[in-house]
Chain A
Amino acid sequence: MTAEPTDEALMLAYAHGDVIAFEQLYKRHRGTLYRFLLRSLKQRADADELFQETWSRAISARERYRPDAKFTTWLLQIAHNLVIDRFRRSRPMASADETDAVFRELDAPESEQPERVLSEFEQRRKLQLALEEMPEEQRVAFLLRVENGMGLEEIGDITGAGRETVKSRLRYALARIRTRFES
């Protein structure tokens, strides 16, 4: 039983003119990339646009691809840069005061945050709302983790942030989700 080729092998094959290899690669990562973009941008039109742009850039850069980096990391880097550019054009970044307010809430003792038992439907709904309200950097980091299964180092490589910055962003993202659940 032959093992399926890795993402890196398929990308190299495509770089040498194998379009079938690219189709395989595309089938593997089309869903996760699209959902990352859709939930990062929250607008389907924006997600469709950046989805095609991401793959277009990957196709153009096929000859520059080096297998020392994971393909998914490389692909998500392209997507992330597009998302950030779109964020910077359309939405101002969260101010420092807003961020501090979030942290203070998150730092409240557990006794002051009663937990309520929520139905699964309500949990999904609140998570969705939390993602939509989350700052872009936190959301991207959170999505790269839960949607694409990236680790701290990989998220750092994709976003260009350090390991600790990534951890901090993830904490903040989780705090917002909890706040939404408890509201």
Chain B
Amino acid sequence: MSTRNDRDLDDLLGEDSGRVGALYRKLSRSDPPRRLDRNVIAEASRAVHGRPRGPRWLLGVGAAAGVLLAAGIAWRVNHDMNQQREAAPMSVPASPAANVDAPAPNVIRVEPRESAEPTPMQQDEAKFSERADAKPERNSATVAKPHQEAAAPRVTPGAAPILRKAEQAKQKLDRGFVADPAETQSASATEDDNAKLRERRRDAPAATPQTAAPMRDNEAESSAAAQLRADEPSASAADSASMTEPVGAGRAAAKTMTTLDAVAAEIERIRQLLGNGRRDEARAALHRLREQNPDLVLPDDLRDLAR
């Protein structure tokens, strides 16, 4: 073996690996990359603790995030429950302190039906409601009721103004006003006025039988006229009674309704006379009707006859 090699070996095995070792240490000193360091440390930690040893601040951030998330969910659930509770149908009446601006969510609102014009049924109901508001006492109401029911279906277009006028008079009567001395009589009516009234009433029943005969031939005789003939004596008696005693709401209402029926029936009879060509008789009947009812507003088809 070469001594040179032995000397080199001894030099290599000497302190700090001799000259060769010194030369070797002048070579580039490469170190492992940082990622290798992290990998090794992480593996060492996992092997001992069973979890990666990452930045500790991440644990705090994660815990805080979890707490915030739980708090947010709890708040949201509570908020939704409160909203549902407020929107739930209220079984108890609203307290006075309730917000009047906030509508009750579950209260069904019925909007009034707006129509261009009231239906006939509504008109009738309105009329009946008006009459009911000014309803007389029971005794008169029972008497008036049949007349009401009888009059309503028989209202002709021409009699509408007349009925309106009579209705106004009736309402005034109910309030205690004397609308027409011909229609009503106050307690303070004089005997002269009473006599005139009795005379007028006497004529009315007389006229009725005269026209009753021709009307018998006419099958369109109204039941109101027949009722007028039947009720005339009792109406007269009622009138006479009303002259001497204070006008009660019941008696005045009954008399007004009877007068309305009578007027309507008479107008109808006059029309029938005209239709039958009995113009003179119709004119005379109309003249008597106007004398009995000065405030009577004639329908359009009878105005020429009155001239």
Contact = CB atoms under 8 A, between A and B. Distances in A.
Interface of A: 14, 17, 19, 22-23, 26, 30-31, 34-35, 38, 48, 51-52, 55-56, 59-60, 62, 106-107, 110, 120, 123-124, 127-128, 145-147, 149, 151-152, 167, 170-171, 174-175, 177-178
B185 to A, nearest CB: 124
Contacts of B43: 55-56, 59
Nearest to B24: A146
A174 B24 CA distance: 12
Contacts of B45: 19
A170 B23 contact: no
B103 to A, nearest CB: 68
A170 B44 contact: no
A152 B20 contact: no
A126 to B, nearest CB: 9
Contact of B32 (A30, A146, A170): A30
A127 B27 contact: yes
Contacts of A123: 23
Given A52-B39, A55-B40, A170-B12, A177 B33 contact: no
A7 to B, nearest CB: 15
Contacts of B4: 110
24 contacts: A14-B44, A14-B48, A17-B49, A19-B45, A34-B30, A35-B29, A51-B32, A51-B36, A55-B43, A59-B47, A106-B2, A107-B1, A107-B2, A120-B26, A128-B27, A147-B24, A149-B17, A167-B9, A170-B12, A171-B5, A171-B8, A174-B8, A174-B9, A175-B5
Given A19-B49, A51-B32, A128-B27, A26 B41 contact: yes
Nearest to B6: A171
A145 to B, nearest CB: 6
A181 to B, nearest CB: 10
A110 B25 CA distance: 27
Interface string B157-174: 000000000000000000
Say which size band chain B's interface belongs to.
20 to 34
A146 B29 contact: no
Nearest to A178: B8
Enumerate the 10 nearest inter-chain pairs by beta-carbon distance, A residue then B residue, closest first. A34-B32, A174-B8, A146-B17, A146-B24, A55-B40, A22-B44, A146-B21, A17-B48, A171-B5, A19-B45
Nearest to A173: B12
Given A127-B27, A171-B5, A171-B9, A146 B20 contact: yes
A52 B39 CA distance: 8
A35 B27 CA distance: 11
A149 B15 CA distance: 9
Contact of B36 (A52, A59, A151): A52
Contacts of A34: 30-32, 36
B12 A146 contact: yes
Given A127-B20, A171-B9, A174-B12, 18 more contacts: A17-B48, A19-B45, A19-B49, A26-B41, A30-B32, A34-B31, A35-B29, A59-B43, A107-B1, A120-B26, A145-B17, A146-B17, A149-B17, A151-B13, A167-B9, A171-B1, A171-B5, A178-B8
